[in-house]
Amino acid sequence: MISHHTATQTAKRHGRRPVIAFFAVLALLVAIAILAGSLPRLSREKRLIAASAALQRRKPVVIASTARLASSKDTIDLPGDLQSMVESPIFARADGYLKTRFVDIGDHVKNGQPMADLETPELDQQIAQAHATLAQAQASLKELQADIELSRANLNLANVTQGRWQRLADKGVVSRQDLDEKRADLGVKQAQADRAVASLATAQETVRATDANLHRLEEMKSFARVTAPFDGVVTARNVDIGTLINAGNGGASREMFRVAKIQPLRIFVNVPQTYVEEIRDGESAELRVQERPGEVFPAHVTNVSHSLDTNSRSMLVILETPNPGSLLYPGMYAQIRFPSAVHSGHALLRIPADALIVDKSGTRVAVVDSVGVVRIRDIVVSQDLGSEIEVISGLSPGELVISNPSDVVQEGAAVDVKLR
């Protein structure tokens, strides 16, 4: 016979089984949900790892040029900057407001061509006042001229009267006192005449000064029309209708226009020390710009500085090009080709200038060997030709030299080559 205690424990165990089964099923469902959520993430991570590995396996692409042997007689290619022959800011010579504007940026103008008209109310008032002042001075001049005529008439009368009284006094007809009075009156009339002459001279000077001031104001009024100082093109326009314009180029004044003379154009070139002896005044050259491929523009040397910059060891040379049709613009970057008279006696190895690596380790270049692996070479440079470099040692003809080497270009790195 089973005791009561044993029966109770058995009943409790039977009561726990459903609870345990419930939690077991719940744990299984949670595990399945976690596994289902982890699988896509693991798949994505696997794909990213594979893509990263593929990128790491991909070889960087480099641009390379072949080291070539140059002929004993060659040309010199140097970079240059195009600048306008003259570029002048246009300021107003009179105060006023911009009334009319005749030109805008990019317009071609001729010498003396109107560019703008100013409204000058204050100057107009000054001119009107100067006219009135001149008229007043001229009237005063006429009045003084009449005073001179009167003073001269009085002087003549006093002179005649004094002469008569002198003869009467000599005969004893009149007293010496009366004669002295006539002489004094003659002196007064003489002083009045002299004063009238001096006043007339002062009035004449006043008229001339007033007339000169009027001409000055009228000349300033002529500057109310702004004209082009030379043939050129408008490169800047900083004002518009109604803008307050101040005369001059200082203080609150504003540059109205900027005009550049672009026919001909000047080219500034820095010639390396090696070639300074070959550049002469009047020497011809060829000009090329990247924006007009295949076109060659003639140029000639007009100025040579005959002095080298101590930093770059180069000499400034200025050339001119006619620029027919205004095809070239100031500020363009150009390549200038000079004919070279260098006879080295043997062929020289040349590489692009952008292939140089200059650092604390010296002057080096990166080359690609026959199996596509980068090799860093120490070289010795003979001359800098601008776009190219002459190399004495460290390279062999036909080797592929990497241009503009990046940080990935290291010794032993595998690369894909794209020939320039």
- Beta-bridged to residue 233, according to DSSP, are 108, 260
Give me the pLDDT at residue 55, please: 47
- Using CA atoms, how far residue 136 sits from 97, 180, 199, 206, 207, in Å, is 31, 41, 15, 10, 9
Rg for the chain, CA atoms, rounded = 50
**Which pLDDT tens digit goes with each residue over 284-337?**
999 999 888 888 999 999 999 989 988 888 899 999 999 988 889 999 999 998
pTM for the model: 0.53
The CATH code belonging to domain 77-82+260-339 is: 2.40.30.170
Domain-wise residue ranges, the chain: 1-58, 62-71+347-419, 77-82+260-339, 122-222
Report DSSP state, residue 312: T
User: What is the spatial distance between Cα 388 and Cα 395, in angstroms, rounded to a whole number?
Assistant: 15
Q: What percent of the chain has pLDDT over 70?
A: 84
User: What is the spatial distance between Cα 372 and Cα 419, in angstroms, rounded to a whole number?
Assistant: 13
Q: Report which of residues 181 and 90 the model is more confident about.
A: 90
Domains 62-71+347-419 and 77-82+260-339 share a fold: no
- Beta-bridged to residue 90, according to DSSP, are 257
Residue 363 CB partners (closer than 8 Å, separation 6+): 356, 357, 378, 379, 380, 381
User: What is the spatial distance between Cα 71 and Cα 94, in angstroms, rounded to a whole number?
Assistant: 64
Burial environment of residue 365 by CB neighbours within 10 A (0 to 12, 13 to 18, 19 or more):
buried
When the pLDDT of each residue in the chain is averaged and rounded to a whole number, the result is: 81
Using an 8 Å Cβ cutoff, are 109 and 90 in contact? no
**Which pLDDT tens digit goes with each residue over 129-166?**
988 888 888 888 787 777 777 777 777 877 777 777 77
User: Taking Cα atoms as reference points, which of 209, 159, 203 lies closest to residue 185?
Assistant: 159
Using an 8 Å Cβ cutoff, are 395 and 405 in contact? no
For residue 382, how many other CB atoms are within 10 A of its CB?
A: 16
Residues for the chain: how many in total? 420
The helix or strand, by DSSP H or E, that contains position 167, with its residue range, turns out to be helix 121-171
User: What is the spatial distance between Cα 389 and Cα 353, in angstroms, rounded to a whole number?
Assistant: 5
Q: Which CATH code of 2.40.420.20, 3.90.79.10, 3.50.50.60, 1.10.40.50 fits the domain covering 62-71+347-419?
A: 2.40.420.20
Using an 8 Å Cβ cutoff, are 262 and 230 in contact? no
Using an 8 Å Cβ cutoff, are 174 and 183 in contact? no
